[in-house]
A and B are shown apart, each in its own frame.
Chain A
Amino acid sequence: MSAKRIRFIVIILALAVLLTTPLWASRYVVNVWSLICIYAALASMWNLLAGYSGMISLGQQMFIGLGGYTLAVLSVYYGLPISLSVLLGGMISVILAVLISLPIFRMKGVYFAIGTWIIAEALGICFSNWGYVRYGMGMFIQPAYKLSMSSIYYAAVIICIGSIALVYLLLRSNLGLALMAIRDDDVASEAVGVNIFRCKFTCFLISAFVTGIAAGILYLNAIFIQPFEAFGIGWTVKLLFIVIIGGIGTVEGPIAGAIIFVFLQQYLSEYVGFNLIIFGTIAIMVIFFAPKGIVGTFQNKFGVELFPVRRQ
Chain B
Amino acid sequence: MIQFLEPIINGILLGGLYAVVGIGLSVIFGIMRQVNLAHGELMILASYFSLLTLQLLGLHPLLTFLLVLPAMFIFGYLIQTFLFNRVMGKGMEPFLMISFGLSIILQNALLLIFTPDARSLKSSLVIQSLNVYGLFHVPLIYIVNCAVSILVIGLLHQFMKRTYLGWAISASAEDLSAAKLMGINPKRVYALAMGIAAVTAAISGVLVGMTFTFYPHSGTQYLIIAFGVVIIGGLGSLPGTFVGGLILGISQLVGGRIIGPGFQLLSGYIILLVVLTIRPQGILGRG
Contact = CB atoms under 8 A, between A and B. Distances in A.
B277 A103 contact: yes
Contact of A121 (B87, B96, B97, B269): B269
A158 B108 CA distance: 35
Interface stretch (B146-154, B176-184, B195-203, B260-268): B260-268
A122 interface: yes
A110 interface: yes
Contact of A111 (B86, B102, B224, B280): B280
A277 to B, nearest CB: 5
Contact of B273 (A115, A126, A280, A288): A115
B18 interface: no
Contact of B269 (A103, A106, A122, A274): A122
Interface in B219-233: 220, 224, 227, 231
A122 to B, nearest CB: 4
A273 B105 contact: no
Interface string A272-301: 011011011101101110010000000000
Contacts of B92: 56, 109-110, 113
A287 B98 contact: yes
B67 interface: no
A294 to B, nearest CB: 15
B105 A277 contact: yes
A230 interface: no
Given A113-B35, A277-B108, A291-B94, A122 B266 contact: yes
A103 B269 CA distance: 14
Given A108-B280, A125-B266, A281-B101, A240 B96 contact: yes
A121 B100 contact: no
Contacts of B263: 125, 129
B102 A129 contact: no
Given A103-B276, A287-B97, A110 B35 contact: yes
B93 A122 contact: no
Given A56-B93, A114-B276, A122 B270 contact: yes
Contacts of A115: 273, 276
A107 B97 contact: no
Interface in A193-213: none
A119 B273 contact: yes
A223 interface: no
Contacts of B107: 276
Interface in A36-76: 50, 56
A118 interface: yes
B276 A273 contact: no
Interface string B24-55: 00000100011100000000000000000000
A233 interface: yes
A6 interface: no
A240 B231 CA distance: 24
Nearest to B29: A110
13 contacts: A56-B92, A107-B276, A107-B277, A110-B35, A121-B224, A125-B269, A126-B266, A237-B100, A273-B108, A274-B108, A280-B104, A281-B101, A291-B90
Given A113-B35, A114-B276, A118-B269, 17 more contacts: A56-B92, A107-B277, A111-B231, A113-B92, A121-B269, A126-B266, A237-B100, A273-B111, A273-B112, A274-B108, A276-B104, A280-B100, A280-B105, A281-B105, A284-B83, A284-B98, A284-B101
List 6 tightest A-B contacts by C-beta distance, closest first: A280-B104, A283-B101, A280-B105, A103-B277, A280-B101, A284-B101
